[in-house]
Amino acid sequence: MAENSQKNNPLHGLTLEMILTDLVTYFGWEKMAEKIPIRCFQFEPSIKSSLSFLRKTPWARKKVEVMYEFNYPKIQKAKLQKES
């Protein structure tokens, strides 16, 4: 039953690093900073520094997760097109 409860959750099984990497690949740091205006996206952005901030800041992490969930279909489509 636990498996069925997660089948429609695009975040299930993903790490924060995977989510952030997909978003940065799809949007880029500049667009990320526009959509979620936090310093780790605006000034000298990196996956490492952003992960550090997001792990300590629940409200920012939630914004990133919501952004990922909202854009999940587009991100997956872009990933499939890159593989082809």
Q: Which of 4, 13, 24 is nearest to 68 (CA)?
A: 24
Res. 3: pLDDT tops 90? no
pLDDT in tens, 6-46: 667 777 888 999 999 999 999 999 999 999 999 999 999 99
Name the region of 19 (left: φ>0; alpha: ψ -120 to 50; beta: rest): alpha
- Do residues 32 and 23 touch, judged by C-beta distance below 8 A? yes
Map out the domains of the chain with their CATH numbers: 14-83 (1.10.720.30)
Q: What is the reported pTM? A: 0.85
Q: What pLDDT is stored for residue 79 in this prediction?
A: 87
